[in-house]
Amino acid sequence: MPKSTIVTLPPERWREVRHLRLEALLDTPTAFAASYEEESALPDEVWIDRLTTAFERDGNMTFFAEADGKLVGMAGANWPARAKLRHVAEVYSVYMSPAQRGTGLASRLLQTLLDELRRLGQIEKVSLAVTAGAPAPLRLYRKLGFEIVGRARRELKIDGRYYDLHMMELHF
Ligand SMILES: CC(C)(COP(=O)(O)OP(=O)(O)OC[C@H]1O[C@@H](n2cnc3c(N)ncnc32)[C@H](O)[C@@H]1OP(=O)(O)O)[C@@H](O)C(=O)NCCC(=O)NCCS
C-alpha cells in the first residue's frame, strides 16, 4: 500500500503540477473547461504564478495528494474578494491519477479542502460544476454532501459535441 498524504506545495514544485494538470487534461478532457492544447502552450511563469497565488494569497487554495512522494491528485478552490460574493467558494481542477482512483484518496483530498474552507470562517457555501454523465465525480461530491441544484445545458463543446454540466452546492 503506497503511503499517501495531502499537502500544499511551494512554487518550486511547479513542474510537477504542470505535469499532473496536463495529464488530467489528456486523461479526461470532458471534465475540464481548459484544453490540453491551451494549457500545454502556457509559459512557465503562469505555472509558477498559479502556485505562488495558491500558496500565498487569500482567495485561493489548492491541495495536492502524494503517493510515495509522487504527485497524484489535486483540488483547488477560490472565492472572490467582492463583499457580496466572498461567502461563496468555487471548487475547480479536481483530479486523481487513474492508479489511485477508488482508494478513497480523492475523498480525503476533497475533505481536506472543505475542512480548510470551513476553517476560514467566512465561507458559507461551496459550488462546483460537474459534467453530466460522469458517475465517479458525481458520487464523490454527493458523498461529501453536495447536491445538484441545476443543469446548465451545452456548456462545453469538444470536437463538435456538447456537454451539459450539473451545478452542485454544499452549504456549511
Ligand atoms: C473524480 C475523481 C477525482 C474521483 O476519484 P475516485 O478515486 O474515483 O474517488 P473515490 O475513490 O472517492 O470514488 C468516488 C465514488 O465513485 C464511485 N465510482 C467510481 N467510478 C465509478 C463508475 N464508473 N460508476 C459509478 N461509480 C463510480 C466509487 O465507487 C466511489 O463511491 P463509493 O465510495 O460509494 O464506493 C476521479 O475519478 C478523477 O480524477 N476523474 C477524472 C477527472 C474528473 O472527472 N474530475 C472531476 C471534475 S468536476
| CATH label of the domain that carries residue 10 | 3.40.630.30
Q: Given the C-alpha cell 492544447, which residue does it identify? A: 37
Distance 98 CA to ligand 1 centre (A): 10
Provide the residue range defining the domain that includes 112.
Answer: 4-126
Probe ligand 1: pick from 140, 142, 148, max atoms within 8 Å of CB?
Answer: 140
Closest ligand 1 atom, CA of 95?
A: 39
> Does 50 map to a domain?
yes
Question: What whole-number percentage of the chain has pLDDT above 90?
Answer: 92
- The answer to whether position 17 is within a domain reads yes
Q: Is residue 131 part of a domain?
A: no
pLDDT at residue 74, rounded to an integer: 98
Q: How many domains does the chain contain in total? A: 1
What is the model's pLDDT at position 121?
Answer: 94
From 22, 101, 131, mutation site for ligand 1 pocket: most ligand atoms within 8 A of C-beta? 101
159 assigned to some structural domain: no
- 136 part of a folded domain: no
Q: What is residue 117's predicted lDDT score, i.e. its pLDDT?
A: 96
Is 71 domain-assigned?
yes
Distance CA 102, CA 123 (A): 29
Ligand 1: atom nearest CA of 101 is 7
Whether the Cβ atoms of residue 156 and residue 134 lie closer than 8 Å to each other: no
Instruction: Give the residue, out of 94, 111, 163, with the most ligand 1 atoms within 8 A of its beta carbon, to mutate for a pocket test.
Output: 94
Flag whether 117 is in a domain: yes
Look up the pTM and report it: 0.94
